[in-house]
Amino acid sequence: MIAIPAIDLREGACVQLVGGSYADERVRVNDPLDALKRWRSFGFKTFHVVDLDAALGKGSNEGPIGRLLNYEPGLTFSVGGGVRSTAKVEAVLALGASYVVVGTRAIEDAVWLREVAERFPGRVVVAADVKGREVVTRGWTAGSARDIASVLESLEPLPLGGLLVTAVHKEGQMEGVDMPLMEEVARSSRHPLFASGGVTTVEDLRELGRVGTFGAVIGMALYTGKLDAAEAAREFA
CA dihedral 29, 214, 172, 143 (to 10 degrees): 120
| 129 is an active site residue | yes
- Please give the C-alpha separations between residue 190 and each of 14, 166, 185, 187, 199, in angstroms, as whole numbers: 32, 18, 9, 8, 23
Q: Which of 51, 48, 137 is nearest to 99 (CA)?
A: 48
Q: Which of 8, 53, 178, 204 is catalytic?
A: 8
Is 8 a residue of the active site?
Answer: yes
Q: Which of 51, 53, 129, 178 is catalytic?
A: 129
| Residues 161 and 124 sit within 8 Å (Cβ to Cβ) | yes
Extended beta strands in the chain, E state = 2-10, 13-17, 25-29, 46-51, 76-80, 99-102, 124-131, 134-137, 142-147, 162-167, 193-196, 215-218
Q: Which distant-in-sequence residues (6+ apart) come within 8 Å of 99 by Cβ?
A: 76, 77, 78, 79, 123, 124, 125, 161, 162
User: Which residues are catalytically annotated?
Assistant: 8, 129
